Structure 1
Amino acid sequence: MKPETNSIELIKSSGKRVRFSIEKLKASLRHSGADTATINKITNTVRDELYQGISTKEIYNRAFAMLKKEKLEYASKYKLKKAIYELGPTGFPFEKFIGALYQYSGYQVTVGKMLEGKCVSHEVDVIAHKKNHRILAECKFHSEEGRNCDVKIPLYIHSRFQDIIKSSKENKAITKEGWVVTNTRFTKDAEQYALCAGLKLLSWNYPTGNGLKDRIDRLGLYPITVLTLLSKREKQFLLSRDVVLCRQLLRDKFYLDHLGISEKRKQRIFSEISILCNNS
């Protein structure tokens, strides 16, 4: 006899066990833009295939495959979280991506610049300026799911930012904010420390309603790794040439010529990008 759906335990990538939630699955599918009929079809199929100890990855793969058959743009948005992990293995494409988020929010952005502190010099991942406001952001990228940023990360980064702010070369009239940005999550202790210390945090789902996923959707700034019509090799080629955003491909179409992609396939890729960005 098949167990009740709400008694099914899933195994997350971190190894932690959680109860299956049909509502969470529906919410993630709704976030992809899928219509009600598609959502119901997928959730019913997944529910019928559940078993004790099934991995969240297996559920994701099943839902993704079904979305891909329905509409490519559904699948692209559904895989956004996974696509951010695919910006690795180094953290530099992630830094470029975060820089683009600030840039499209109206900031002037510099990535990977050395700043002199009171005691020592520091390389800052992203510096963003807007009028008399300056953001110093450190990016903590993880290419493996299930790894969260604990309190040691904001503790260490906050001390670096304080050293920079105390430098005699810093303009005291400019308001400065220190940010820590990660593609995973922060622990509760990390969030508590940052709140107390005046340090800003940005993760996949933090702050609530204004996390990475919310900003990406709002700005329509999807990484090229969401695209379902590009191979892993093709994505790595583009990332190695600092092409991080889908929007960049619309502007710099010649990169696909370097990859030897046919005209027919190029049109499908550009169509996927246009729908994805314009529907945001």
Structure 2
Amino acid sequence: MAMQDKAFKIIKSSGEKADFSISKLRSSLFRSGADELTVDRIVNVVRDELYQGISTKEIYNRAFSLLKKSKSIYASKYKLKSAIYELGPTGFPFEKFIGSLMEYSGYEVEVGSILQGKCVSHEVDVIAIKNGQHIVAECKFHSDKKTTCNVKVPLYINSRYQDIVSQYKNTAKCPNEGWVVTNTRFTTDAITYGKCVGLYLLSWDYPKDNGLKDRIDRLGLYPITVSTLLTNREKQFLLSRDIVLCRQLANDKFYLDHLGVSETRKTKILSEISKLCNSN
């Protein structure tokens, strides 16, 4: 049996076993913007290094390393999913990130507001208003990749949303859309319940073709954590200053001076970020 035809079992982050899929690897590499020759070369290298029981993390790390050697912007876009996890552990940078995505999409946005419900007050992660849309969004950040958003999450959030709607009913301040946003995935029951009660659910890959990954790529609004040149300490400093998007750093370059970044590194970092912002 030829190497490319041999079935390899890989271990997913959840601990489940699955068949290795060359087509999935190719698709993820193409999403980074890499050209066909680069994708073919990386697929061939990764395939030749496969062994039974290899983890998806090892496959990802190898592909990422090869992309970085080829072109850093490819590597940055390829690591988008893990970069979202790097927004943790508190979850607040994730709320800021979602707020920024909405703001750059033309919404008037508030992050971390308190709204009085009919029964109790509620801390609302993101309020976004545009053209008659009045969104109240709750962000559920998980640092563990194995964690999913089960049906308890939209159940709880819907009860809070309904309490707020009851308070502002028949007024200009009444929200008309409740959202649940997560960096992981929703269970089938969570999606079914969300559809039933009219909650809008947004996750890494849901709704299909309009999930977080699709919106980020389409808008070119990448989190600062995708950078392959900034250190973890530098990323945390920027996040602590509410710089969550590459686009924000491009507009506020002086933060790199605060960090004591050399002119040479500064030029490279800003070049990487500029390419990301303009890659779409």
Do they superpose with TM above 0.5?
Answer: yes
Alignment of 1:1-280 (within 5 A): 5=5, 7-168=7-168, 171=171, 176-280=176-280
Q: CA deviation at 1:131?
A: 3.1
The answer (yes or no) to whether the contact 2:3–2:48 under 8 Å persists in 1 is: no
The answer (yes or no) to whether the contact 2:168–2:174 under 8 Å persists in 1 is: no
TM-score, structure 1 normalization:
0.97
Which ranges of structure 2 fall in alignment gaps of 5 or more residues?
A: none
The whole-number CA distance in structure 1 between the counterparts of 2:239 and 2:6 is 41
Secondary structure of the residue aligned to 1:163 is helix
The answer (yes or no) to whether the contact 2:185–2:205 under 8 Å persists in 1 is: yes
Secondary structure of the residue aligned to 1:7 is coil
Structure 2 letter corresponding to 1:73: I
- Please give the per-residue CA displacement for 1:114-147, whole angstroms capped at 9, x wherever unaligned: 0010111000000001132200000000112121
Q: CA deviation at 1:171?
A: 1.9
Aligned-residue Cα RMSD (Å) equals 1.5
Structure 2 letter corresponding to 1:227: S
Secondary structure of the residue aligned to 2:176 is strand
The answer (yes or no) to whether the contact 1:12–1:146 under 8 Å persists in 2 is: no
The whole-number CA distance in structure 2 between the counterparts of 1:120 and 1:2 is 65
Secondary structure of the residue aligned to 2:18 is strand
The whole-number CA distance in structure 1 between the counterparts of 2:238 and 2:216 is 20
The answer (yes or no) to whether the contact 1:133–1:174 under 8 Å persists in 2 is: no
The whole-number CA distance in structure 1 between the counterparts of 2:250 and 2:87 is 19
Which ranges of structure 1 fall in alignment gaps of 5 or more residues?
A: none
How many residue pairs match? The answer is 280
The answer (yes or no) to whether the contact 1:234–1:259 under 8 Å persists in 2 is: yes
The whole-number CA distance in structure 1 between the counterparts of 2:152 and 2:9 is 31
The whole-number CA distance in structure 1 between the counterparts of 2:220 and 2:170 is 34
Structure 2 letter corresponding to 1:249: L
Secondary structure of the residue aligned to 2:186 is coil
Structure 2 letter corresponding to 1:267: T
C-alpha change, 1:131 and 1:3, in structure 2 (3 Å) is closer
